[in-house]
Amino acid sequence: MMRFSPPVPISAQLDVGAFSCGDPALDGWLRERAGDAETRTAKTFVLLTDKRVIGFYTVAVGSVLLPMIDSDLPNPVPAMILGLLAVDQAYQRQGLGAALLYDALLRILNVRRGLDIRLVVAWPITQPLRRFFTHYGFETIPTLPHAHFLPIDTLIKAASGGAENRRAPRNTGLD
């Protein structure tokens, strides 16, 4: 049985060279830009087996301008951006994408305590990733065709559901 670490922040000591998720843009970003972004724009968390990266996601604080929103929300809407998420091809279809998403959402909940975050926004760049986020309860933003969102209140309700709600309903993004 393969052993994985909990996701950890990316570091220069980790092997990203062999990572291949099937999307050259994501592979290249991890190899060439993740370390630089770490200190300026985003945090990248990686899933490891030994010191080899087999999955990753990025999060950043941001905002989204939504022209037609409830008047109770600030506009632009404060958001956590789930920018990238990928799993190495050799490890796909084992639930690791869902595990990375779950970890990202838990981190976002922890960060949210100190910030006025109202949405989690994902930017899935491929059709399979769009289906993935939709499956986990993210909705599309009509004015931003590649953006998917999950209201932070939905996430908070799912997380506070207690032991009887360990497997959250499909529309929460935590299943």
H or E segment to which residue 156 belongs: helix 152-159
Whether residue 120 is contained in a domain is answered as yes
Task: Say which CATH number the domain at 86 has.
Answer: 3.40.630.30
| Predicted pLDDT at 68 | 64
Whether residue 2 is contained in a domain is answered as no
How many domains does the chain divide into? Answer: 1
What confidence tens digit (pLDDT) does each residue in 39-66 have? 677 899 999 988 789 999 999 988 887 7
Q: Residue 76: give the domain boundaries.
A: 8-172
| Alpha-carbon separation of residue 22 from 78, 144, 152 (angstroms) | 32, 25, 31
DSSP label at 15? Answer: B
**Residue 163 pLDDT exceeds 70:** no
- Rounded Cα distance, 84 and 74, in Å: 25
What confidence tens digit (pLDDT) does each residue in 9-35 have? 998 888 888 999 999 989 998 988 887
Whether residue 1 is contained in a domain is answered as no
Min mean pLDDT across 39-48, 116-125, 162-171 is at 162-171
